[in-house]
Amino acid sequence: MNPAGRSALQEELTALARGDRAAFDPLFQRLWPLLRGFARRSLSAEEADDAAQEALIRIFRRASEFDPARDALAWALGVAAWQVRTHRTRARRRRGEVAGGLPEREDPAGSPEEVAAAGELAAALERALAELPRDDAAILLAYARGERPDLPGATFRKRVERALGRLRARWRIRHDPL
């Protein structure tokens, strides 16, 4: 970020901390590409977008507590770095789970509300799966059933992660997780 942009970021975050809502839009426009670019240096594109979104929400939630004496860029990137680290840890755990097989399932019997909610969720998931490329859907269904196609373990894991990323992106567009 150039010195002018850095100075503008400082001014906008300081103004927002004071409660000046007019600074919200320019700050959003400045922060979002910055955080996304920062996260993409360390994570895959889908993971980076998730991490950047969470960092952005966290920054705006804490914007009122921002101390104008601090450097706004360093503060924002500090929050983003924490989020990136969290995502990397989560991704490592997921990879471990994929390598270790499916987790044990709980007793499926539940209350009528739970059954209805599960039915709606399953239908929504089915619609999202139908929108995915056929290979992605097949690999996810195989993973969900605990089947292992005739592929090397690392390749299978990568394909599952890629397909999950695409599924997550479509789910986000349709169901607004924010």
Partner 1 sequence: MTLSEISETNLRLAARRAYEVGRLQGALWRGALAALFALPGFLMCSGTLLAGFCLGGFALVVVAGRVRGAAYEEGARAGAVAGVAPCLLPAVASTLDPNLCAALVAGVPWPCALGGLVAGAILGLRGRAAGGLPFWATALAALGFAAALGCIPAGAMGFSGLLFGVIAGGAPALVVRRAMG
* For partner 1, the closer CB: 59 or 139: 59
| Spatial distance between the Cα atoms of 61 and 151, rounded to a whole number of angstroms | 44
Nearest to 125 by CA among 176, 160, 171, 165: 171
Minimum Å gap between C-beta 88 and partner 1 is 22
User: Least distance (Å) from partner 1 to the CB of residue 80?
Assistant: 14
Closer Cβ to partner 1, 6 or 60, answer by number: 60
Q: How far is the CB of 73 from partner 1 (least distance, A)?
A: 18
Question: Measured from the CB of residue 175, what is the shortest distance to partner 1 in angstroms?
Answer: 10
Which one, 21 or 41, has the nearer CB to partner 1? 21
In the complex with partner 1, the residue whose CB is nearer, 29 or 155, is: 29
**Which residues make Cβ contacts (< 8 Å) with residue 124, sequence separation at least 6?**
171, 174, 175
Q: How far is CA 89 from CA 93, 151, 156, in A?
A: 6, 26, 20
How far is the C-alpha of 154 from the C-alpha of 137, rounded, in Å?
18
- The binding site for partner 1 (CB under 8 A) comprises 16, 18-21, 24-25, 28, 32, 53, 56-58, 60-65, 172-173, 176, 178
Burial class (CB in 10 A: 0-12, 13-18, 19+), 12: buried
To partner 1, the closest distance from the beta carbon of 27 in angstroms equals 9
Q: Which is nearer to partner 1, 60 or 98 (CB)?
A: 60
For residue 125, give both structure tokens: 């998931």
